[in-house]
DNA sequence: TGGATTTGACCAAA
DNA sequence: TTTGGTCAAATCCA
């Protein structure tokens, strides 16, 4: 935390202040005999504020001085990566070497270091739709793998236009151990194909988020082939996934398959989860227009803030997304040859309220 | 018949 | 050595 005006500090203070104010509101509501719903909502927000504060502290504490914006510990307890105040890398494409080379080398089997972020889609069997909604992009499944500690196999998809348009965007779909109706979709890389404008873009900074209109609809209309760039998720709940919990979740279950956007059906017939309905498919955070059409896959290295995950106001729905700052951050640091670990973190159990005051006084320097 | 999916094998990172 | 990610041949399907 360099200087007296670190982003973390301000954010932390803002969170605490917000929590205090919410507590006051709750107090007033208690006296005013407000509805239980209102009180519950306030409690939810208060808890959210404190959880965020704790995450900030946790994250900050795990970073070396002056590195908060550049690295993030890997592992479930990673906490939040806050790179918000980082400007979009002037030239993310050229700044990176390894990620870029990886991404440009389709033949390499090396684990790609691409911008990665996770979205979660909750489905339910009531609506009759088959599987989670299409995210607006054309994906082609190229693999499935049983993941250690996970009850369900993970499916791998890549852009249909990978060959024709050299679009290296990929996504992984993993059904939640704890909630079979919850799918965690990890996007890697950004679309550079013709459907890029519809593609899911990595979350961006809070600043950007503030500028985005927020859809406060608590219940998203069953998105029809919505654009990948999920406008605003109606979920206000941003859960961070605790990596440890995954392993903990144990029971077994049949593998699952995720319907591809082109087929709509389940990938694996034996799956008993047939009629899935997308209850929520959103992507927390806002997307800066400047991120919409990266010139190259590498350009997907965006500064991201966990808080951009904040968003609209759904009340009960599950959803959330998280981001992976790793590569994004590396874009900003590679120039200094700093080894950047693959920082993958997610936020689970954290409810980020849609009204997170990024404009809280002092939020920004 | 062409495009998409399945699945075992391979490879590199951890 | 283990595990995750990808490849590519086989298979499926419209």
A136: how many CB neighbours lie within 10 A of its CB? 20
Residues at the strand C interface (Cβ < 7 Å): A 106-107, 109, 111-112, 142-143, 145-150, 154, 156, 158, 170, 172, 188
Q: What are phi and psi of A124, to 5 degrees?
A: -145, 160
Q: Which of A103, A43, A48, A40 is nearest to A80 (CA)?
A: A48
Which two structure tokens, joined as six digits, stand for A365?
């320097």
Interatomic separation, CA of residue A40 and C1' of nucleotide C9, rounded (Å): 56
Which two structure tokens, joined as six digits, stand for A361?
């006084």
pLDDT of residue A186: 86
Please name the nucleotide lying closest to A171, CA to C1': C5
Q: What is the 8-class DSSP label of residue A318?
A: B
| Residue with nearest Cα to nucleotide C2 C1' | A148
pLDDT of residue A125: 55
Chain B nucleotides close to protein (CB under 7 A) are 4-14
* Helix, strand or coil, per DSSP, at residue A140: strand
pLDDT of residue A55: 62
Interatomic separation, CA of residue A19 and C1' of nucleotide C5, rounded (Å): 42
pLDDT of residue A188: 80
Interatomic separation, CA of residue A211 and C1' of nucleotide B9, rounded (Å): 48
Residues at the strand B interface (Cβ < 7 Å): A 108-111, 138-145, 155, 160, 257, 260, 262-263, 267-268, 341-342
Query: Using an 8 Å Cβ cutoff, are A191 and A126 in contact?
Result: no
Please name the nucleotide lying closest to A138, CA to C1': B4
Chain C nucleotides close to protein (CB under 7 A) are 2-8
Query: Using an 8 Å Cβ cutoff, are A312 and A354 in contact?
Result: yes
pLDDT tens digits for range A151-208: 888 999 988 887 777 787 888 888 888 877 788 888 887 777 766 666 555 554 433 3
Interatomic separation, CA of residue A100 and C1' of nucleotide C2, rounded (Å): 27
Which two structure tokens, joined as six digits, stand for A139?
């994906």
**How far from each other are the two terminal CA atoms of chain A, in whole angstroms?**
13
Please name the nucleotide lying closest to A264, CA to C1': B4
Interatomic separation, CA of residue A306 and C1' of nucleotide B6, rounded (Å): 36
The H or E element spanning position A281 is strand A277-282
What are the residues whose beta carbons fall under 8 Å from the beta carbon of A299, sequence distance 6 or more? A92, A93, A190
- Vertex A44: Cα angle to A41 and A47 (nearest 5): 150
Query: Which residue stretches of chain A have pLDDT < 50?
Result: 1-5, 61-112, 126-131, 204-365
| Residue with nearest Cα to nucleotide C4 C1' | A147
pLDDT of residue A312: 34
Please name the nucleotide lying closest to A102, CA to C1': B12
Query: Using an 8 Å Cβ cutoff, are A350 and A239 in contact?
Result: yes
pLDDT of residue A271: 38
Q: Which of A332, A80, A119 is nearest to A231 (CA)?
A: A119
Q: Which of A68, A85, A88 is nearest to A365 (CA)?
A: A85
Please name the nucleotide lying closest to A153, CA to C1': C4
């Amino acid at each position: 935390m360099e200087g007296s005006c670190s982003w973390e500090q301000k954010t932390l203070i803002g969170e605490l202040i917000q929590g205090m104010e919410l507590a006051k509101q709750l107090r007033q509501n208690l006296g005013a005999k407000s509805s239980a719903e209102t009180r519950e909502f306030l409690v939810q927000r208060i808890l959210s504020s404190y959880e965020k504060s704790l995450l900030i502290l946790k994250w900050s504490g795990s970073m070396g001085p002056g590195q908060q914006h550049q690295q993030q510990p890997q592992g479930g307890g990673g906490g939040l990566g806050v790179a918000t105040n980082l400007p979009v890398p002037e030239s993310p494409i050229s700044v990176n070497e390894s990620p870029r080379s990886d991404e440009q080398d389709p033949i390499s089997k090396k684990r790609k270091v691409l911008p990665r972020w996770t979205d979660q889609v909750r489905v339910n069997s009531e609506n009759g739709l088959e599987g989670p909604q299409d995210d607006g992009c054309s994906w082609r499944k190229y693999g499935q793998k049983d993941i250690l500690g996970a009850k369900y196999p993970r499916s791998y998809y890549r852009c249909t236009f990978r060959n024709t348009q050299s679009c290296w965007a990929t996504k992984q779909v993993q059904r939640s151990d704890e909630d079979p109706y919850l799918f965690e979709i990890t996007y890697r890389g950004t679309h550079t194909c013709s459907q890029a404008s519809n593609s899911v873009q990595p979350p961006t900074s809070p600043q950007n988020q503030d500028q985005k209109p927020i859809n406060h609809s608590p219940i998203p209309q069953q998105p029809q082939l919505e654009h990948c760039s999920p406008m605003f998720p109606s979920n206000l709940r941003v859960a961070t996934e605790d990596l440890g919990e995954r392993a903990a979740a144990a029971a077994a279950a049949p593998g699952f398959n995720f319907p591809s956007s082109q087929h709509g059906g389940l990938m694996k017939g034996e799956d008993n989860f047939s009629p899935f309905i997308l209850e929520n498919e959103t992507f927390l955070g806002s997307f800066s227009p400047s991120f919409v059409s990266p010139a190259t896959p590498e350009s997907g290295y965006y500064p991201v803030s966990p808080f951009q995950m904040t968003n609209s106001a759904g009340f009960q729905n599950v959803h959330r997304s998280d981001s992976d700052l790793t590569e994004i951050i590396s874009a900003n640091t590679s120039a200094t040859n700093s080894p950047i670990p693959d920082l993958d973190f997610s936020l689970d159990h954290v409810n980020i309220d849609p009204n997170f005051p990024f404009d809280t006084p002092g939020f920004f320097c």
